[in-house]
């Protein structure tokens, strides 16, 4: 049985929270209530310098800076290390020396068999690159999880106060949006129900409906996170992007760097998702939709403001880049008030969204001010790599641990056929990034399994093998020339579970579903 009490029109608005609006972007990173006083303007320093926005969290920025420097250093060490390996002169101890060097510099073990024939045939450096990078990916993903949560705040209760029991975010798979959850929006990982990326933010509507069904079933069966009578909603978010400095070339590749096409495509998917839920289960009011754009030059977001019925348009939005410039010299109280005024102004003649949605939008805008501030202080307001600069293509379920700009181009898939277009976009990007320099295209195939389900681990292993074969067939010429290298791994769905490497010839190990 499915809840029909929340069908569209029956409840005009979500429950109104009793607490005052707040944002995680406050210096203390906690809920706070500011008394409304006469706004004050702060003396403006000359230039940007180290001047911070009054709502920016310097503590969060410092943690993210340290995290990203450490993570990037691990990947940036791969090519210099392999160059040094290539420069070693062959001797009877070559295999041991090369293996030892890779393990000392990168912390991964390279198979000795790759070096055993180096005395009679040239060392296959492209294959070695793929094997070593795959090991670094798995090791770093494990280390990142052990490092713990960077944001350090549980937003689940806040989302419930806004009237949402689950949040599902679908960004574009472009690597510049890889940090959209942790860095751009400053949301803790556990606060988001799902975060599957698709080229151009053109998410799979049917898959999103299935995730909605699973969430609602949990509410009816277990009352988690709230029982069905709570009247809360499911929030679906799509995230598109563009480049402010080079909009015609460095925007979304899936939409020909056309910002309007990217926004319109994401909005169309959101409407299709809500209509699918409404037509299938007669409870469209149980779903809210939100459209967010990102200027990837500076990570500034543009939030499209819904009306009272939850409908969105492309021309009704708050641009946080402009809002940052307008409020960075105000005091915290006045800056926070200006954010709510901007949301009101964006509604124009349309009816305003419900209070919970307004609070949510305000929080996302405030959180994002810290990231804009960080880009200003570190890179003078614009990333040096405004275009693609990814290290690998992540295929399958992806590594949720990696929330880092331009680290990976992500293709969520179960089969190559269903996501062929998304994968083609990634391959074309890496033709420019890697193949032109003689480097292979590294593809990390990663799937999750559920140890509680009999045979789940074996099926995940088989899926890795099947996807790898399909990739080889689709890009046969690149593969035969050594320009496509695949690494495979699986992982239990339980948070923090170890990442298991899958060899090319591995078959089911007979562990059953409990391993």
The residues carrying an active-site annotation are 174
Rounded Cα–Cα distance for residues 514 and 494 (Å) = 13
Q: Which helix (H) or strand (E) holds 81?
A: helix 78-86
Q: Report the alpha-carbon distance of residue 497 to residue 111 in Å, rounded.
A: 24
CA–CA dist 372, 25 (Å, integer): 11
Chain centroid offset of residue 339 CA: 25
Q: Whole-angstrom Cα distance, residue 382 to residue 296?
A: 9
Nearest-angstrom CA–CA distance, 144 and 413: 23
Task: State the Cα–Cα distance between residues 100 and 95, nearest whole angstrom.
Answer: 8
Which DSSP string corresponds to 428-451? HHHHHHTGGGT--EEEEEEEEE-T
What residues contact residue 388 under an 8 Å CB cut-off, 6+ apart?
A: 174, 175, 176, 253, 406, 409, 429, 432, 433
Instruction: Report the distance separating Cα 65 and Cα 25, nearest Å.
Output: 16
Closest CA to 290 of 322, 251, 262, 317: 317
Task: Provide the edge-to-edge strand list for the sheet that holds 287-295.
Answer: 164-171, 233-242, 287-295, 300-304, 317-319
Region of 187 please: left (phi>0), alpha (psi -120 to 50) or beta. beta
């Amino acid at each position: 049985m499915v809840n029909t009490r929340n069908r569209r029109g029956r409840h005009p608005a979500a429950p109104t929270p009793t607490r005052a609006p707040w944002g995680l972007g406050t210096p203390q990173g906690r809920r706070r209530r500011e008394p409304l006083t006469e706004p004050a303007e702060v003396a403006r320093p000359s230039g940007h310098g180290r001047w911070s926005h009054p709502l920016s969290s310097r503590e969060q920025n410092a943690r993210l800076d340290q995290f990203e420097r450490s993570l990037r250093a691990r990947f940036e060490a791969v090519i210099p290390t392999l160059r040094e390996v290539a420069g070693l002169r062959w001797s009877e101890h070559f295999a041991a020396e090369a293996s030892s060097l890779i393990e000392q510099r990168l912390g991964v073990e390279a198979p000795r068999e790759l070096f055993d024939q180096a005395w009679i045939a040239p060392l296959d450096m492209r294959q070695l690159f793929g094997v070593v990078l795959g090991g670094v990916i798995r090791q770093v993903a494990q280390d990142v999880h052990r490092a713990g949560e960077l944001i350090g705040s549980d937003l689940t209760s806040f989302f419930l106060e806004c009237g949402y029991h689950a949040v599902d975010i679908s960004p574009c798979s472009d690597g510049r949006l890889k940090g959209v959850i942790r860095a751009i929006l400053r949301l803790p990982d556990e606060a988001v129900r799902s975060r599957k990326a698709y080229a151009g933010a053109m998410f799979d509507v049917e898959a999103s409906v299935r995730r909605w069904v699973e969430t609602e079933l949990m509410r009816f069966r277990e009352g988690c996170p709230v029982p069905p009578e709570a009247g809360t909603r499911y929030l679906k978010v799509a995230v598109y992007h563009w480049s402010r400095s080079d909009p015609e070339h460095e925007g979304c590749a899936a939409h020909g760097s056309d910002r309007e096409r990217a926004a319109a495509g994401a909005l169309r998917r959101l409407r299709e998702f809500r209509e699918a839920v409404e037509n299938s289960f007669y409870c469209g009011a149980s779903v809210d939709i939100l459209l967010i754009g990102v200027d990837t030059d500076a990570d500034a977001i543009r939030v499209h403001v819904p009306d009272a019925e939850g409908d969105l348009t492309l021309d009704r939005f708050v641009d946080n880049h402009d809002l940052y410039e307008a409020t960075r010299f105000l005091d915290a109280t006045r800056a926070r008030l200006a954010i709510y005024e901007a949301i009101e102004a964006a509604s124009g003649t349309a009816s305003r969204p419900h209070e919970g949605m307004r609070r949510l939008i305000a929080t996302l805008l405030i959180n994002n001010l810290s990231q804009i501030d960080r880009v200003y202080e570190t890179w003078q307001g614009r990333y040096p790599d405004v275009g693609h600069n990814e290290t690998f293509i992540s295929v399958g379920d992806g590594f949720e641990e990696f929330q880092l700009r331009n680290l990976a181009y992500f293709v969520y898939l179960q089969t190559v056929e269903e996501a062929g277009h998304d994968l083609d976009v990634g391959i074309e990007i890496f033709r420019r990034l890697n193949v032109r320099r003689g480097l292979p295209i590294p593809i990390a195939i990663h799937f999750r399994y559920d140890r509680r389900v009999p045979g789940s681990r074996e099926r995940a292993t088989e899926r890795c093998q099947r996807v790898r074969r399909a990739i080889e067939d689709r890009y046969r010429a690149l593969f035969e020339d050594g320009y496509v290298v695949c690494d495979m791994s699986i992982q239990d769905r339980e948070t923090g579970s170890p990442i298991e490497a899958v060899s090319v010839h591995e078959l089911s190990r007979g562990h059953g579903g409990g391993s």
